[in-house]
């Protein structure tokens, strides 16, 4: 897919942050560890060292259990990954109220050298053979009046649901594969400015993102290439940048006697690509232009605790969502996909009354107003997910099982992972993922991507 875009504003942001950091290096000190929530710099919890460096090296060897089929580069059951990755995270305190974090991850997949009989697509080789990703790259500052600022590449996780994003709107996702990661691993950092302040018992967050991009999608030829059918039909696929690069999000949250409540609103670009228009239909290669649809959303989320039970729920209205047409209507929507309003709802619970065992269940629904026969999805898209998390051997052994049914038009994913901490530094892991979908599902082409993966991870800290 070709792309049309100008210079990235995130590049300018990184250069700006770099100049600030260089000017403060003599005053470095430790930053905070938890970057999944809105953080305040805690000047009382200092360590002896003014900085810290943590990281890990991971080796993954994966076997594709089925034959993906003739559409993909890999067409038979064989090894599909021999990936070595290196992650490092550096934290420093620049002064009493200012902290800095930088993290990045480098990958190299040797499968493209080992499986020399497989003819891999050029895009797949360029994307996955060797790559580097900037993860966190931000400054955080706490003013004396308790106002908190955070500027740079960051994750802002606001939602409670695992399988449906209702109020968790900000970060893009890693969709190189489907269902092989938890939500906390799916989120990708985006360049943003966060301002947080408190009034009485309420905490208020405002976020502006710049050129945040879209979800990461597998390249052409890969076994999770979401556009594989259109590519093989001879269509020319284009990606056009959204008209507006800035996104705005607001949140008000408070703590209840037995839980938490938050209200979220935002105007943003949909992180999923949708068709903006189709041209040259009479030619041998019709042109399909993809873009990120501009959306608005407002929603609320709450959780509360009763003994060993945790209950949570979310409710949100997503306006102007571009909805996918069915196969017969795809080429008829030459002016782009229809936009509909959707009401999203989530009900969930967790139970931790068993020793070393956590059970959770989530029920999701997406209701589309003004539904018509041209849509692929039903008026009500009902799905559910269940999770089992069990630890043993003084928490050195962890077993995680997930079952996610994404509705009749999407399919089911089952995932089982077993991790054993041989020592504080060395972790061994096993992952199995199974896909089950019907022919009308948009994931039907990926039904034969069941995988068995071995993992070895070495952690370090300086």
Residue in this structure with the two tokens 């996104």, named with its chain if needed: 247
Residues 6+ apart with CB under 8 A from 283: none
The predicted pLDDT at position 425 comes to 96
Percent of the chain residues topping a pLDDT of 70: 89
- What is the Cα–Cα distance from 388 to 431, expressed in whole angstroms? 15
Beta carbons of 437 and 448 less than 8 angstroms apart: no
- Going by pLDDT thresholds of 50, 70 and 90, the confidence category of residue 48 is low
Share of the chain residues as helix, strand and coil, in percent rounded to the nearest 5? 10, 55, 35
Encode burial over 20-55: b for 16+ CB neighbours within 10 A, e otherwise. Answer: ebeebeeebbbbeeebeebbebeeeeeeeeebbeeb
Beta carbons of 251 and 205 less than 8 angstroms apart: yes
Kindly tell me if the per-residue pLDDT of 287 is higher than 60.
Answer: yes
Percent of the chain residues topping a pLDDT of 90: 79
- Going by pLDDT thresholds of 50, 70 and 90, the confidence category of residue 179 is confident
Residues 6+ apart with CB under 8 A from 25: 92
- What is the Cα–Cα distance from 43 to 40, expressed in whole angstroms? 9
- Among 36-45, 77-86, 208-217, 357-366, the minimum mean pLDDT is found in 36-45
The predicted pLDDT at position 1 comes to 58
Two tokens, residue 392: 């043993």
Sequential DSSP letters for 279-297: E-TTSSS-EEEEEEEEEEE
Beta carbons of 300 and 252 less than 8 angstroms apart: no
Beta carbons of 139 and 35 less than 8 angstroms apart: no
Answer positive or negative: Cα dihedral of 138, 139, 142, 147: negative
The predicted pLDDT at position 14 comes to 45
- Going by pLDDT thresholds of 50, 70 and 90, the confidence category of residue 353 is very high
Residue in this structure with the two tokens 């800095």, named with its chain if needed: 100
Per residue in 6-15, pLDDT (tens digit) is 444 444 444 4
Range 4-26 average pLDDT = 41
Residues 6+ apart with CB under 8 A from 304: 256, 258, 259, 310, 311, 312
Sequential DSSP letters for 253-266: EEEETTEEEEEEEE
Range 50-55 average pLDDT = 94
- What is the Cα–Cα distance from 9 to 28, expressed in whole angstroms? 27
Range 177-199 average pLDDT = 91
- What is the Cα–Cα distance from 135 to 182, expressed in whole angstroms? 17
Two tokens, residue 383: 């799905």
Beta carbons of 79 and 61 less than 8 angstroms apart: yes
Kindly tell me if the per-residue pLDDT of 70 is higher than 50.
Answer: yes
Kindly tell me if the per-residue pLDDT of 33 is higher than 80.
Answer: no
Per residue in 130-153, pLDDT (tens digit) is 999 999 999 999 998 889 999 999
Kindly tell me if the per-residue pLDDT of 44 is higher than 50.
Answer: no
Per residue in 243-256, pLDDT (tens digit) is 999 999 999 999 99
Per residue in 388-409, pLDDT (tens digit) is 999 999 999 999 999 999 876 6
Kindly tell me if the per-residue pLDDT of 159 is higher than 60.
Answer: yes
Q: Identify the CA nearest to 218 among candidates 390, 373, 8, 72.
A: 72
Q: What is the pTM of this model?
A: 0.86
Q: Identify the CA nearest to 24 among candidates 95, 80, 78.
A: 95
Q: Burial-class residue 331 by CB neighbours within 10 Å (0-12, 13-18, 19+).
A: middle
The predicted pLDDT at position 144 comes to 81
């Amino acid at each position: 897919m070709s792309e049309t875009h100008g210079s990235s504003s995130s590049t300018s942001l990184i250069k700006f942050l770099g100049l600030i950091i260089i000017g403060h290096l003599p005053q470095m000190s430790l930053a905070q560890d938890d970057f999944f929530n809105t953080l305040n710099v805690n000047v009382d919890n200092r360590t002896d060292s003014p900085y810290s460096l943590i990281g890990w090296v991971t080796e993954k060897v994966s076997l594709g259990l089925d034959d993906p089929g003739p559409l993909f580069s890999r067409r038979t059951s064989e090894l599909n990954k021999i990936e070595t990755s290196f992650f490092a995270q550096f934290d420093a305190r620049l002064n009493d109220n200012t902290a800095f974090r930088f993290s990045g991850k480098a990958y190299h997949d040797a499968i493209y050298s080992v499986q020399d009989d497989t003819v891999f697509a050029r895009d797949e080789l360029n994307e996955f053979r060797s790559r580097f990703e900037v993860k966190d790259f931000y400054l955080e500052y706490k003013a004396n009046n308790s106002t908190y600022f955070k500027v740079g590449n960051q994750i802002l996780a606001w939602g409670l649901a695992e399988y449906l994003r209702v109020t968790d709107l900000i970060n893009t996702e890693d969709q190189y594969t489907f269902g092989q990661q938890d939500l906390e691993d799916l989120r990708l950092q985006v360049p943003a400015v966060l301002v947080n302040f408190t009034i009485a018992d309420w905490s208020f967050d405002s976020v502006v993102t710049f050129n945040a991009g879209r979800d990461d999608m597998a390249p052409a030829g890969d076994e999770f290439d979401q556009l594989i059918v259109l590519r093989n039909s001879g269509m020319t696929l284009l990606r056009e940048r959204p008209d507006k690069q800035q996104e705005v999000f607001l949140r008000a949250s408070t703590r209840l006697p037995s839980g938490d409540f938050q209200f979220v609103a935002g105007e943003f670009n949909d992180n999923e690509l949708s068709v903006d228009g189709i041209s040259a239909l009479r030619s041998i290669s019709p042109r399909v232009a993809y873009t990120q649809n501009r959306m608005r959303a407002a929603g609320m989320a709450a959780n509360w605790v009763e003994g060993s039970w945790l209950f949570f729920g979310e409710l949100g209205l997503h306006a102007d969502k571009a909805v996918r047409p069915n196969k017969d209507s795809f080429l008829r929507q030459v002016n782009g996909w229809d936009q509909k309003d959707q009401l999203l709802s989530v009900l969930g619970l967790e139970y931790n009354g068993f020793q070393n065992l956590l059970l959770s269940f989530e029920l999701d629904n997406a209701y589309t107003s003004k539904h018509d026969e041209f849509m692929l999805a039903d008026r009500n898209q009902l799905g559910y997910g269940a999770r089992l998390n069990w630890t043993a051997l003084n928490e050195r052994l962890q077993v995680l099982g997930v079952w996610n049914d994404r509705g009749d038009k999407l399919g089911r994913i089952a995932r089982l992972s077993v991790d054993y901490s041989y020592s504080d530094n060395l972790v061994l892991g096993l992952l199995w993922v199974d896909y089950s979908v019907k022919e009308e599902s948009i994931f039907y082409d990926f039904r034969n991507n069941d995988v068995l993966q071995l993992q070895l991870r070495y952690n370090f800290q300086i």
